[in-house]
């Protein structure tokens, strides 16, 4: 029963979120209106987009121990790739999405194969360089493909009518929810697979994994590419939801934002990444409205200046989480419930040594 309880709770949560657009629930101060209104559904769908993106980054950082500063490159590849295909070709939406994911996957394989030749800070710098190259390419607007600083608008000619317009925000919300579920299942499958176990063991002690005859490079590359593909899928959803995209979708700033989401939720926790993405998105949206309110304008300068900058407040929140809430929301929840399952690196490797049939089985 203990094993199946999380599954039952997860299914119940998905069903509850699926019927949410059919209900009239108001959450003052968080949602701009009842849950059936386009404004509330737009915000909730955006939360799910960033929750999926946080899940993909948690796969890199939590499972593989890969601190990447270029994860936004794959998010932007999904958004811009689909936008360009819909504008410049006669492909309908679903074939265009498939081709976009193939192209984004190829980019992830190429950049991952190069980046993973190094580790630690050099790895982070190489991924940052790739992301900056993508950002420069988008801003230069080659052949008028990307729209430059103005961004790229969604060409709706080949998009199904059910996914276009404010009146169909409910359908976009359901599509975003489906992407969260798919992302979670893919991450769960990888975490529990042989590749995931090898990547997690290499995160703790790569030399020891090599000594046992395994290939940590291959395992980390699979994790890297899977995270990139999930990020690309969320970029596709972002384009459909926002009816366009902007250069920020490729920049390093977005990667830092996703890193904050993962740390806020708890590195290594799948549900923590989802919660972190949702909370950060809600805070970002509501603090932006608060910054421009009359109440903040009427405050003394010593309070008005910081409160009028949402990023200042979010940055302060991040510092407080790092200093006083180690493990993020997920880690704090485990400690409060007495279910802290955090294990040291030596414990992970000892368990791996005993699981010859799963993780560290010597290769012939």
Domains and CATH numbers, the chain: 39-291+325-354 (1.10.3470)
Helices and strands counted in the chain (H then E): 15, 2
Q: If pLDDT is split at 50, 70 and 90, which confidence band does 323 have?
A: confident
Instruction: Quickly tell me which residue has 């119940």 as its tokens.
Output: 12
- pLDDT computed for residue 2 by the predictor: 64
Kindly state the helix (H) or strand (E) to which residue 263 belongs, with its residue range.
helix 252-265
Distance CA 319, CA 325 (A): 10
Residue 249: CB atoms within 10 A of its CB come to 26
On whether the CB atoms of residues 105 and 260 are closer than 8 A, the answer is no
Distance CA 95, CA 102 (A): 11
Q: What is the pLDDT of residues 138-153, one digit of tens each?
A: 999 888 889 888 889 9
Q: If pLDDT is split at 50, 70 and 90, which confidence band does 4 have?
A: low
Q: What is the pLDDT of residues 243-297, one digit of tens each?
A: 999 888 888 889 989 999 999 999 889 999 999 999 999 988 887 777 777 777 7
Q: What is the pLDDT of residues 41-76, one digit of tens each?
A: 999 999 999 999 999 999 999 999 999 999 999 999
- pLDDT computed for residue 344 by the predictor: 39
- pLDDT computed for residue 44 by the predictor: 94
Identify which of 232, 233, 317, 330 has the alpha carbon closest to the alpha carbon of residue 275. Answer: 330
**Angle, helices 216-242/38-58, rounded to nearest 10 degrees:** 170
Q: What is the pLDDT of residues 193-248, one digit of tens each?
A: 999 999 999 998 888 888 888 889 999 999 999 999 999 999 999 999 999 998 88
Q: What is the pLDDT of residues 109-123, one digit of tens each?
A: 999 999 999 988 999
Distance CA 44, CA 26 (A): 13
Distance CA 114, CA 128 (A): 12
């Amino acid at each position: 029963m203990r094993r199946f309880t999380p599954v039952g709770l997860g299914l119940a949560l998905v069903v509850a979120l699926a019927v949410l657009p059919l209900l009239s629930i108001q959450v003052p101060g968080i949602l701009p209106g009842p849950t059936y209104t386009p404004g509330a559904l737009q915000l909730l769908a955006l939360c799910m987009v960033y929750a999926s993106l946080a899940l993909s980054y948690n796969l890199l950082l939590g499972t593989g121990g890969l601190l990447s500063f270029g994860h936004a490159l794959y998010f932007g590849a999904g958004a811009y790739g689909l936008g360009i295909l819909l504008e410049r070709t006669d492909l309908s939406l679903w074939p265009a999405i498939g081709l976009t994911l193939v192209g984004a996957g190829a980019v992830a394989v190429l950049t991952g194969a190069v980046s993973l030749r190094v580790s630690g800070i050099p790895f982070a710098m190489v991924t940052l360089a790739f992301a900056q190259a993508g950002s420069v390419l988008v801003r230069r607007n080659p052949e008028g493909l990307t729209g430059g600083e103005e961004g790229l608008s969604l060409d709706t000619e080949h998009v199904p009518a059910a996914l276009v317009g404010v009146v169909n925000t409910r359908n976009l919300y359901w599509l975003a929810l489906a992407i969260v579920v798919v992302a979670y299942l893919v991450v769960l499958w990888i975490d529990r697979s042989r590749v995931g176990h090898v990547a997690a063991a290499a995160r703790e002690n790569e030399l020891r994994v090599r000594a046992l005859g395994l290939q940590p490079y291959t395992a980390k590359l699979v994790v890297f590419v899977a995270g990139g593909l999930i990020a690309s899928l969320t970029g596709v959803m972002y384009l459909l939801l926002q009816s366009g995209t902007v250069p920020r979708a490729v920049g390093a700033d977005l990667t830092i934002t996703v890193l904050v989401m993962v740390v806020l939720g708890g590195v290594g926790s799948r549900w923590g990444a989802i919660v972190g993405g949702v909370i950060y998105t809600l805070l970002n949206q509501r603090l932006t409205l608060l910054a421009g309110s009359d109440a903040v304008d009427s405050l003394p300068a010593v309070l008005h200046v910081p409160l009028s900058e949402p990023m200042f407040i979010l940055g302060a929140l991040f510092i407080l989480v790092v200093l006083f809430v180690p493990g993020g929301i997920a880690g704090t929840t485990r400690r409060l419930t007495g279910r802290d399952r955090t294990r040291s690196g030596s414990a992970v490797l000892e368990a791996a040594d005993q699981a010859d049939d799963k993780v560290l089985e010597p290769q012939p």
